[in-house]
Amino acid sequence: MTLKKPAGSGGAHPVERRIPMRDFSKSLPMSLLRAREAVMKQFRPSLRRHGLTEQQWRILRALAAVDAIEVTELARVAFLLGPSLSRILRDLEARQLIERRTAKADLRRGVVSISQKGLKLIELVAPTSESIYAAITRRYGAQKLAELQNMLAALEHSLAALEVTDAEPSENE
Amino acid sequence: MTLKKPAGSGGAHPVERRIPMRDFSKSLPMSLLRAREAVMKQFRPSLRRHGLTEQQWRILRALAAVDAIEVTELARVAFLLGPSLSRILRDLEARQLIERRTAKADLRRGVVSISQKGLKLIELVAPTSESIYAAITRRYGAQKLAELQNMLAALEHSLAALEVTDAEPSENE
DNA sequence: GGGATATGATTAACATGTTAAATTAAAGCC
DNA sequence: GGCTTTAATTTAACATGTTAATCATATCCC
């Protein structure tokens, strides 16, 4: 709280503050960030024990749900940018958790699938993961959780319409 | 969609799939991640035009609201881990957007404040930022937005109780 | 069918996330 | 008062986020 000035406590020139702006910590991006971090904090230790990062786990899970998938589509599903995905796939392939080939019809496209070893790893991690998810659901309430996810989806949908409203007001080039 | 196998299309051994798990893309972490990304996508172009990242902007905003603040407290408020904050403060100081000193009472503690130059930058960015936030609020609905934030805060609070329920079920000791 | 253009994927470069280790200063203890 | 322990911050090391550039292949189009 303390809003007093040090009154010449360091030699540097103290500054007048107070620019009218929304309370920073209550902004929507911060609310979403904190909420997500609170959730992921529950999962990370278990993933880490199995040598997986959050993103690697997302990829393996996405792959476990299909027979094979193209890299671009995988990026969309796992919500990763191309460069991140590219690096992670390189590592997962080196660990033999996934397998890759190229599409016969279009040599530019890569096709990825999970390996037997990858499936075994998923089977090892999934029970704990599901258990944590269940605990969260119990704690917060299944009903409320569903409602929250609806509201999040609605938010996403709302903003898809705006889409990068570019251009500065005062910076006429 | 297509769930058929390539039937010997690459030489590698195709794999039996289907491990029973929640639909990955509908998980809470993914919902929160996508929602946040949809929001930040609106802000990033403007910040970028002013040479700021999302995190740098968080720090400057936090600093603009106080006269001075200790590094640890700043990390808490801006929701950044120590190492990230340490690097960013180094850069912001080099750009003369902030000023640092050490607490007289405890030489371990760093004290940070925003500079005049930093304040000017904030004044330059804030209008666009506020305008974007207003547009989001209009689009989604102020009422709904408030409710969403309440639910996010409640989620955070719920999970604070759980706090890292460690220990694997099948990995005794 | 060959050159311009577009697309899928990767690489490059820099910023941050994440955990562990190192560094420096305080506090506690005897 | 010196020694151990604790605390604040930074550094180290590696993984990912983010944008731009590169590379290879496809597609267009004349």
pLDDT tens digits for B30-50? 999 999 999 999 999 999 999
Q: How far apart are CA A158 and CA B136, in angstroms?
A: 8
Measured from the CB, is B117 under 7 Å from any atom of strand D? no
Place of tokens 């991006």: A29
Measured from the CB, is A80 under 7 Å from any atom of strand D? yes
Section A78-99 average pLDDT: 97
The per-residue pLDDT for range A149-173, each reduced to its tens digit, is 999 999 999 998 776 555 554 333 3
Cβ within 8 Å, pair B42-A164: yes
| Low-confidence winner among A35-44, A93-102, B13-22, B93-102 (lowest mean pLDDT) | B13-22
pTM: 0.85
At a CB cut-off of 8 Å and minimum separation 6, what does A21 contact?
B61, B64, B65, B126, B129, B130
Integer angstrom CA distances of residue B29 from A2, A45, A122, B75, B139? 36, 15, 18, 23, 24
Place of tokens 């040090």: A6
DSSP annotation of A10: S
pLDDT at A17: 52
CB-contacted nucleotides of strand D (7 Å): 7-13, 15-20, 24-27
Q: How far apart are CA B124 and CA B127, in angstroms?
A: 7
Could you say which of A38, A119, A132 has the minimum Cβ distance to residue B156? A38
Q: How far apart are CA A56 and CA B105, in angstroms?
A: 45
Measured from the CB, is B34 under 7 Å from any atom of strand D? no
Cβ within 8 Å, pair B128-A168: yes
- In chain B, the residue whose alpha carbon lies closest to the alpha carbon of A30 is B79
